[in-house]
A and B are shown apart, each in its own frame.
Chain A
């Protein structure tokens, strides 16, 4: 038997974050929410007499699976924003209806069930191991092949061997000179003492901002700031004062 309070906590801990699957716009938020769900589930396992599984859940899911998700999210760009506006007519409502219907059906089915609860067998690792390597020994062997497949698959789909010879610094520099590009470093951004402003362009001697000095990535993200603004601040002590006064 489980402590009802614990149940409700676990329920809240799993259901509420999982709703982000439906409503959160950013995938990263969803992933983090799911991590929470996984932890909640781990707690549930422990509460249900499966401490080993609880640990595995944490290790595998929060530790590996969800991290993998996050990793890929980072790879594809955290900023893959999704417009929640549905583009297919009726999809959302029918979808919600169907999923809700399925859920309601399952809940009603389960709720009607009255199974006698047997004495608890705690899933300590040794107990599990025994079953694992007796009745389920073939499964675990086959799982090995599954893992090989997964690994090979991931490699085939994502790993590219070096196709071109590795370019040395020397070659890079030579190429750069050959095309007549700037042979030296680009100018640093306008880092000011008061402001860690990688996003603010440096100013050239004439006071004009040097666009090249800001990272291209930031520009694409529109996360740059106008150098002129800061120059204005420099020139207008009044504003500076107000800023300082704050």
Chain B
């Protein structure tokens, strides 16, 4: 069988290598090369999606298993179920758009090359992580991914980018390294041998509840940092504020999903008892995140920080859905992971376009733009409305599935989280009001309307959100089986106790 997943991991990585290897003379074309690579990747992702058998979405498909480091039980094992499939599609979709969005960012071809190569490298890691079927492989990619991102943040961006990069790295490292303890401990709980880290071999283990809980916590911490949960979130606003919008879009829209993805496919699937044990606390934290993130978003004047806080809030909803352990809430969470990628990715990019025009993320500097750039305003509004989960746009379906699905388990939690719905309306509309309505200041009069390139970036996302808003079944079909499996895992263990 054609090792399509390996190819999808290798392709962007090789693309990055190619960019770096290009002679300086041909660096004028790096953007086209990078775009082409990601386009091929996207085509592969689409092929993947088409070939994917939704009837057996719960089992891993396109599986490949090669021995990698048999001495420590690590394999190069790739394979995707429905959840992984969606995440890979998301990663493949957003990367070309991010590249396109930053088309004019660098004047210096060398810097441009580095930027694009790092983006491609990140994509390789992202795809690898979502496809990893081996805990060690997952961990390695999870940590190694920090490096291209660290450079993306630290080299390209705002005034405090160095601080932001270091902060990002340290937060992630603390989580990652503690997870490493869990990974190692898991090895000793598992069967050992040359494929000790295959997730297949690690599910349904019987271990002492203390061990399971500790390992669970080690994993969870790393993921809670990545999918920023209060109070581990503070790196995100800093990064968002300082990194390029394209970077941040990828970071928040795709990379941070690794956190929730990991919670879903590792934390819950491998440690169902511990997950159940921890669920009440985690749900409380998730709900706090929802409200806290939303309130802080309201309090921001920096749009990039604002958007990042909205993500904190949204991640709270995803986590809530995951740890409610109902079929619907988990489906909703997984779907939200995808939809939030579209929505927040678009939001970061559109805010980036705005900043590109006027050079400041400060919301108070803007005003009355709707009259000047109605299309821009409309696009912004639609994207903003997707962030507040307006029905008809895809995030709504997922959010409502989480809230409705989780209700039976966490009534108070859902009720409080539902307050986030109101707060979401506040932060989105407040921002829109400040930026686009009211009298138009002099400085805003010459603002450029959304360009063709920018439309090419944003409208596909908006279109996808609309399509998935009405026909979420396209995605849910791939999520039903995996979610059912997860629920089954959690509940079987419950019965066994």
Do A and B contact each other directly (Cβ–Cβ < 8 Å)? no
Chain A interface residues (CB < 8 Å from chain B): none
Which B residues contact A (CB, under 8 angstroms)?
none
